[in-house]
Each structure stands twice: as C-alpha cells, then as structure tokens.
Amino acid sequence: MKIGSVQCESGTRTTGYLEVTTLPTGGAERLPVVVARGEGDGPTLWITGGIHGNEMTGVAAVQDVLTNGVPDGLRGTVVCVPMCNPSGIRRLERTSSYHDDDPNRFFPAADAADTTGKRVQELIDERLYEEIVDSADALLDLHTAQVGSVPFVIRDRVLYGTHRDEAAARDLAGRLDGLARATELPLVNEYPAEEYADRNLHRSTAGAVLNEAGIPALTLELGGHDAIEEGSRAAGVAAVYRAMRHLEMLPSVPESIAGADPGFESPVSFPVRRFVGPRAESVGICRPQIETGTAFEAEEAVADVVSPHGDCVETLSAPHDGYVLGWRSPVTYENDPVSSLAIRDEGDLVTPRS
Ligand SMILES: [Zn+2]
C-alpha cells in the first residue's frame, strides 16, 4: 500500500505526506499521513481530522492514535490523516483560505452539478476521497462541535436508489450501526434525508465515503472548537481503539487508552437525531437555561434572549424530548438558531435518495 510518500511495511509505523495541490507561492499543499501496519492481515481503517481548521481536539486525537507506534497485536492497517485542511489550520479557521469554502461539502456525489468547472477545494476533496476509498474498509472522521459541546458520534442515513438497492442499503446501515455503537460514544442520528441533502452533508467526508462508496463511515464530534479539550481528546482516541477492536484489528483496547476515557453517556434512552434550533424571533443575547448534556422534555425552556438592557424578551422552548449537544453564537440576529440539540428520532435510518 502506498499513500502519498508513505510506503508502509508489515510491523512498522511510517510517516509522510500526501500532496493535494500546488501553491501559487511555490511548493505543495500536503496532508500529513501516519500509517501503521500490523504483522497479520486485516481491514484498513482510515482516521481523518482537521477538515475544519478550528477543530483542534479532533486533530490531536488523530495524532495520538499511533503516537506510540504500531498497536500491540494489530491486524491490518491504520491510516491517520490528522490535518485534512492545512490552510484552515494555519489560521485556526473552519474554512480553507482558497475561496473561504467549507471543505467538508465538496466530496464527490452522484448528483453534484458541475457547470462551471471544479475549483481547487473540490479537487483537493476528490483527491483525498480517491485515496480513502482505494483502501478503506471503514472511516472515522474526527471533528468538534459548538461551544461547550458534549462528545457524540453521528450516524448518517443510508440512501438507496442510485448506488444500491434498499436491501443493500439496510445491510450497509447495519454495519454502520455496529461500528457506531462500538465507539461507545453517545449516538446521534444525522438530520432527516431532505435536510441532510440541503446541507450538502452527503458531500462531507463521511457522507461521501458512506453514501457514494458504500464504506461504513462515521463523524465523531469531540467537544468544542478552537481549544484542545483533554477529556474529549481521550474519549476520541478510545473510540477509535474500540472501533479497531470491533473490526477485529485488535484483541482488546489497551488499558492506558481505555482508562484515560472519562466516559460520556447519552442522558436519554431513546434514539435521537441532530436538530439546529430553536430559532430566536428576537434579536439580542442568548442566555442558556440548561447545561449541555442535560435532558429536557418537549416545550421545556432551553434559553432566554435578552435585550441590550438585559431584560428577557423571549424564552425559547424545546421542540421535542431530547438533550442539549452545544450552544451556537450567544449573539442572535433575526431567526438565528441558538443551540444544537439531540431530539427524539422517529425516522428511518435507510431512505430513498430522491
Ligand atoms: Zn467539523
């Protein structure tokens, strides 16, 4: 197996770079790559991070997966790419600097329109995607979410109609479910299919690898952005090792890794999905009324909006049972969503692409 400059032999850990474009100032934009190959044959697991340049706990967790060399008893291959958006990381910004695009929305999709030609971020995403699907049996893409966010794993809906029939989609969704549960992070289903497509999430790293290539792929959200949060980092590394054990690449999770995980659990026992809202009709400053990671019931107050003078002008309530994942900007303009919630999910995890 060769990925960029990395040619990895059995029983070794090798580092190098994957060049993804040429820079106008000279040299290349290149993604750091770390590959560890076990002595025995087994699956290939890709771990990616830093596609959003301000999500540094994800970067740190990917860096730490192989920092101690080849894991004892490893079968198969682990490929780590901690910085998928170096241009964003250099300025600690979510987007890349080329055109200020969100780099996690340009991965290949069957329904992607191309009328004006592909710009550099889309070409970079395509090159990374081709490397991933060339060898991956599974992918974990590590991110962070909002301010004060609790860690969770996102399970995308599996689409059928273009690349697979419904039976194949259910089989893929079953394998995805097993991998998601194996991480032992709180499990949150992705938005309903229509909103998923509207937000171009089928063109995210995990969305494209799952729904285009048919390879189990998950997005892990490891706390808040900008800083490196130690508990979420340790939970992310442990989640990766549990996925390796689930894929029969490791006999067990090393105690040093399992023991460092603070352990994050869902506060509710029912299935939940991502929801952005509620939305403030009033302009002002949002004041959370409950802690992240705390359960609420439908209609319960989650936040107030206060005027410039500090008077409460609106109380926002939960649309459904669930819990708070994280808070969005405390500054609310007209119709701004104030939080990211996990709300009760009654939808199917397998849906037609149309
Ligand atoms: Zn992200």
The CA 4 to ligand 1 mean position distance, Å, reads 24
Domains and CATH numbers, the chain: 2-258 (3.40.630.10), 272-352 (2.40.50.100)
pTM over the 0.95 mark: yes
Say whether pLDDT at 353 is over 90: no
Residue 91: burial class (beta carbons within 10 Å; 0-12, 13-18, 19+): exposed
Long-range contacts of residues 27-33, Cβ cutoff 8 Å, at least 24 apart: 29/86, 29/87, 29/124, 30/4, 30/86, 31/4, 31/81, 31/83, 31/84, 31/86, 31/128, 32/81, 32/82, 32/83, 33/3, 33/4, 33/5, 33/6, 33/79, 33/80, 33/81
H or E element: which one contains 130? helix 120-135
- CA–CA separation, 40 and 8 (whole Å): 14
The CA 51 to ligand 1 mean position distance, Å, reads 7
Say whether pLDDT at 55 is over 90: yes
Tokens of residue 253, six digits: 């999770």
Q: How confident is the model at residue 110 (pLDDT cuts 50, 70, 90)?
A: confident
The CA 263 to ligand 1 mean position distance, Å, reads 21
CA angle 49, 330, 346 (to 5 degrees): 65
- CA–CA separation, 279 and 127 (whole Å): 38
The CA 206 to ligand 1 mean position distance, Å, reads 11
In 10 A of CB 250, how many CB atoms?
22
Q: Residue 1: what pLDDT?
A: 84
Q: How confident is the model at residue 112 (pLDDT cuts 50, 70, 90)?
A: confident
The CA 251 to ligand 1 mean position distance, Å, reads 31
Residue 181: burial class (beta carbons within 10 Å; 0-12, 13-18, 19+): middle
The CA 52 to ligand 1 mean position distance, Å, reads 5
The CA 238 to ligand 1 mean position distance, Å, reads 19
The CA 261 to ligand 1 mean position distance, Å, reads 21
The CA 96 to ligand 1 mean position distance, Å, reads 12
Which amino acid belongs to residue 342? A
The CA 275 to ligand 1 mean position distance, Å, reads 16
> Mind listing the pLDDT tens digit for each residue in 306-339?
999 999 999 999 999 999 999 999 999 999 999 9
Say whether pLDDT at 224 is over 80: yes
> Mind listing the pLDDT tens digit for each residue in 267-307?
999 999 999 999 999 999 999 999 999 999 999 999 999 99
Q: How confident is the model at residue 126 (pLDDT cuts 50, 70, 90)?
A: very high
Q: Residue 228: what pLDDT?
A: 97
